[in-house]
Amino acid sequence: MTPETAMSEQETIRHILDTYRTVAVVGLSPHTHRDSHEVARYMQSQGWRIIPINPNADRILGEKAYPSLSRAAQHEHIELVDIFRNSADVPPVVEEAIAAGAQAIWLQLGIVHEGCATQARQAHLQVVQNKCLLVEHRRHFGGR
């Protein structure tokens, strides 16, 4: 994708929110007070299919949890990968997302990794960094 054909960040966000409904949430906590749990619960309430990625849980939000994205991809079709991990932990997740055939990665608020963003875009994935999926969904759809 050349810079002339690249979507703006807002266009990318809108496309993701309008197009995908299955999201693997890497770092999804079973603890209700954690941001990852709140975001995933909200997206689930909006009709999205949540695939929890957490090596220390069997089920989260009523869904089978997988220890890794690559393990989940053996059993699930993953469209979007929502990442709740430290920036330093992002590279292997992005590699797994590319290998899994995901169409987009979303790095939650406070998470930025330009090298991984470039790698993902070169593999034709859409990328959002440093944004909250819940906040952007509410902004675009008013929390419907």
CATH code of the domain covering residue 23: 3.40.50.720
pTM: 0.93
Cα 41 to Cα 13: distance, rounded to the nearest angstrom: 19
Considering the domain boundaries, does residue 2 fall inside one?
Answer: no
Q: What domain count does the chain have?
A: 1
Range of the domain at 80: 9-141
- Asked if the structure places residue 38 within a domain, the reply is yes
Distance set, CA 124 to CA 9, 112, 119, 143 (Å)? 15, 18, 9, 29
pLDDT at residue number 142:
79
Within a domain: residue 3? Answer: no
pLDDT value, residue 7: 79
Per-residue pLDDT of the chain (144 residues; tens, 9 = 90+): 444 346 798 999 999 999 999 999 999 999 999 999 999 999 999 999 999 999 999 999 999 999 999 999 999 999 999 999 999 999 999 999 999 999 999 999 999 999 999 999 999 999 999 999 999 999 998 755
Specify if 77 maps to a domain: yes
